[in-house]
Structure 1
Amino acid sequence: MVPCFDEPDFKANWTVTIIHPDGTTALSNGKEIGKVRETSSPWITSTFEETPKMSTYLLAVAVGEFKFVEGYTKGNVRFRIWSRPAALSMTSHALNTGIACLDFYDHHYGIKYPLSKQDMLALPDFEAGAMENWGLITYRETQLLYDANIYSAGAKFAVSSTVSHELAHQ
Structure 2
Amino acid sequence: MLASYLLALFVSEFDYKESYTKRGVRFRVWSTPNTREKRSYGLKAAIDLMELFEEYFGVQDIAMKQGQL
Q: Which residue of 1 aligns with 2:34?
A: 86
| TM-score (normalised: structure 2) | 0.84
| Percent identity between the two aligned chains | 36
What secondary structure does 1:79 align onto?
strand
| Structure 1 gap ranges (5+) | 1-52, 122-170
More strand by share: 1
Shift of 1:115: 1.3
1:111 equivalenced with 2:53 (yes/no): no
- The whole-number CA distance in structure 1 between the counterparts of 2:62 and 2:29 is 19
Question: Once superposed, what is the RMSD of the aligned Cα atoms?
Answer: 1.4
| TM-score (normalised: structure 1) | 0.38
- The whole-number CA distance in structure 2 between the counterparts of 1:76 and 1:62 is 27
**Rg: which structure is higher?**
1
Deviant stretches of 4+, over 4 Å: none
What secondary structure does 1:87 align onto?
helix
More helix by share: 2
Q: How many residues align?
A: 69
With a CA cutoff of 8 Å and minimum separation of 6, indicate the structure with the bigger relative contact order: 2
- The whole-number CA distance in structure 2 between the counterparts of 1:103 and 1:118 is 13
